[in-house]
A and B are shown apart, each in its own frame.
Chain A
Amino acid sequence: MSDSPVLDVEGLAVTIGTRRGPARAVAGVDWSVQAGQTLALVGESGSGKSMSVLAATGLAPRTARVTGRVRLLGTDLTEVSPERRRRLRGRHVGFVFQDPMTSLNPVLTVGRQVSEAGEEHLGLTRRAARARAVELLDLVGIPSAAQRVDAYPHQFSGGMRQRVVIAMALACEPDLLIADEPTTALDVTTQAQIVELVADLQHRLGTAVVWITHDLGVVAGIADTVAVMYAGRIVEQGPVDAVFAHPAHPYTVALLAARPDPAARGADLVTIPGAPPSPWELPTGCAFFPRCPVRGDARCEHELPPLVPVSGRHQVRTFYPQATDGEDR
C-alpha cells in the first residue's frame, strides 16, 4: 500500500446560502485517509462532519459555496469538470447513508440496484452484473443471496437493508467507502453486526473508510484516526488511542465524560451547558469558548486557536490543552 492518501482534504470550507444569509457549515478543515485505514469524523449535529464529506465528494447542496482542495487518488476534484468528478466519484467512492430505506428505490429489486453501478462504471453486461450482484450480496452476509437478489427492499429488515446498501457501495470495488452514520438508525445488536461486517470487508478489500458518527463508542471500535469536529472546525485529531487516552481539548474531554459510566452510578453526569453556536454567526475566537469549563481568557474569546501538536500526529485546537490520562474518566 502506498503512503499517498486515497482522499486528501485541505482547507475545505463550505458556506451555504440560506434565506437568513450565508451559513458557515464547514469553516476550514484538513484531513486525509489512507488505503485500508478508517478515519472517524465525530461531532454533534450541526458540527459540519457530514457536510465536510459531502462537499469533498461534490455532493454539497446546490446553494453551497465550497472552497479548498480535495484530492481523490491524486486528482484534484476541484479542478476537473463536474462530469469527470461524477465519474471519478461513481468509480472510486462508495456511500452508505444513515437510513437504508431512503437509499434504496422501493420499486426496483435489490439485485437491480446492486448491479446498476457495475453496469454503469465497469461496463458489465446485464448477466455479468447480476452474477456480480449475487456475489456482493453474499459478501455482505445476506443469506441465500441467489434467491433474495430478486426481492424488493421492503422484504428486508433494517439491518439487511443496510447490508444491501453496503453491497451497492462496494459494487465498483471502491477505493474509499463513506459511511455517514450507517448504524444510527439500527438497533444495538444490529449495529454490532454492521460494524463487524465493515471491519471485515475493509480488512479483506483494503478499502479506505471515512466513518461519520456521533457515537464515541463506535469510534473506539472502528477508527484508526479520529477527528472531533465542533462548529465547522476540527478541534482535535489524531490516532484513536492517543485521543481517547489523552483527550486534550476541553470539548473532547467533556464529550467522553458525558456518557453514563456504570462504575459511577448515582453521580450526576458531566454536561456541557448551552448549545453550539449558530452557523450564521460563528464567533471570531474559539467557538467552544461560551460553553467551555476551562474558560481561559480574552484570547480564547477573540482569537482562533491554531491546531497545535500534542504528541506525534495528535493535534488540538486550543490555547489550553488539557493534561488527561485515561484513568480519570
Chain B
Amino acid sequence: MTEYAAVPRQREPAEVVAELDRLNVWFPTRAGVVRAVDGVSLRIRRGETLGLVGESGSGKSTAGLALLRLVDPSAGTVRVAGQDVTRWSRRRLRALRRRVAMVFQDPQASLDPRRTIGASIAEPLIVHRLVDGAAARRQRVAELLDLVGLRRELADRHPHELSGGQRQRVGIARALAGEPDLIVLDEPIASLDLSVQAQIMNLLRRLQRDLGLTYLFIAHDLAAVEHMSDRLAVMYLGRIVETGTPAQIWRRPAHPYTAALLSAIPVADPQVERRRRRIILRGDVPSPVDPPAGCRFRTRCPQARAECAETDPVLVEVDPGHRAACLFAGDAVRAMSVTEPRRAGGSD
C-alpha cells in the first residue's frame, strides 16, 4: 500500500497539487465500521486530470471529499499544495476550501433554490473576501458566466429557471470563482442528458486548456473518465485496484475487475454488442463493514484461486506507469477473455 497511484507523466514531473497518502476513512455505523476508503494513495499534479472510477460503494466519492476535508480521515495523510491538512482545525479548513473546489453530481440539488445564480457564484468571493464591493463582485460574476458559456442576464435568475446543463455550468462557475488549485468533479455529468453531457465535458476540457486547471474527475462511467483523464485509477471496495493511462487501461486491463467493468459497458453498436464477450460478475459487492480477507475482489472474481484468500495484493507495475493490485495481474485477464460468453438469448 505504499505505492502511489500517481506516476510522473512524460517530460518533467509537474508540481504535486494534492495528495492522499495511505488514507483510511472509516465511518462507525450501527452495523459496524464501514471502511469507505481503506489505504488509498494518490497524487494529482498541476494541470492534469486524474480520473477516479468505481461503482457505488467503491469509496471514490469519499476519497474526493477527503481532499476538501469534508470527511475526517481515520488514518493516513491529506496534503494540499505541500501542506499537511489532515489535522487542520475547522477555521483553517475554510482557507483550504478556497484552494480545492468541488462540483457536485446533481446541479439542481447543489444550488440553493432560494438564491439567485449570481448570489451562488459570488459566494466564494464573499466568503474569502476576494473582491471588494458589490459592483466589482457583479463584474466578476459576469466574467465567470462568460467563462462557462452562460448569458450574463442569468445572474438574476433562480436555479429552477435554468436547464440541467445550465445549472451544472453555474456549479462550475462557482467552483472557478475562488481560482482553486484543484477542482474535484464528483460525477459532474451523471445526472445530465446525453447531449448535455458532451457539452459539459467539452466545457471542462476547454477550461482546463485555457486556465491550466487541475481536476480530479470522479465517475462511474468509464468511457467518460477515459475521455477526460490523463491518468486513471480504478477503485473497488475502498481500494485502488488499478492505475495507468487511459490507453493502458482501456486496451490491456490488468485487473480482472477492470476487465469486467470494461466488458459491462454497453457499446452503441448492435453488431458489436451481439459479438462481444461479456464478463458477468456474480453476486454483489460485499459489505464494506466486513470486506473479504485477502483480495477484496476474490468473492466475485471469475479467476479467483486459493492464494487470493491469503494474500492482500498490493499495486505492482505491469507496464511502465501501469499498476494493478492482483496476484495474477495480466494473466487472470488473459484467462478470462478465453472463457465462453455466457450470454443467453439474442440472435447469433
Q: Which residues of chain A have a CB within 8 Å of any CB of chain B?
A: 44-45, 143, 157-160, 187-193, 195-196, 199-200, 202-203, 214-221, 223, 240-241, 244-245, 254-256, 258-260, 262, 265, 268-273, 275, 326
Contacts and interface: CB of A to CB of B under 8 A. Distances in A.
B2 interface: no
Closest 8 CB pairs of A and B: A217-B266, A260-B227, A203-B345, A187-B55, A199-B345, A192-B264, A269-B198, A44-B193
Interface string B263-300: 11111111111000010110111000000000000000
B338 to A, nearest CB: 19
Contacts of A220: 266-270, 272-273
A280 B83 CA distance: 54
B261 A254 contact: no
A45 B197 CA distance: 13
Contacts of B270: 220-221, 223, 240-241, 244
B345 A221 contact: no
A219 B165 CA distance: 24
A199 B344 contact: yes
Contact of B343 (A44, A196, A258, A326): A196
Residue among B197, B269, B272 having the largest count of chain A Cβ atoms under 10 Å: B269
Given A188-B55, A218-B266, A275-B163, A258 B344 contact: no
B227 A269 contact: yes
A259 B283 CA distance: 29
Contacts of A216: 194, 268
Contacts of B273: 217, 220-221
B336 to A, nearest CB: 14
B79 interface: no
Main DSSP-derived SS at the A contact region: helix
A157 B284 contact: yes
A180 B227 CA distance: 28
Nearest to B228: A260
Contacts of A218: 266
Given A241-B270, A259-B194, A271-B202, 10 more contacts: A44-B195, A189-B260, A192-B281, A196-B278, A199-B344, A199-B346, A203-B345, A219-B268, A244-B269, A258-B197
Contact of B266 (A157, A187, A221): A221
Interface string B151-176: 00000000000011110000000000
Contacts of A189: 55, 260-261, 264, 280-281
Given A255-B194, A255-B195, A269-B201, A202 B261 contact: no
22 contacts: A44-B195, A45-B193, A187-B55, A189-B261, A189-B280, A190-B55, A196-B344, A199-B344, A200-B345, A202-B345, A216-B194, A217-B266, A217-B268, A220-B270, A221-B266, A240-B270, A245-B271, A256-B268, A259-B268, A260-B201, A271-B199, A273-B199
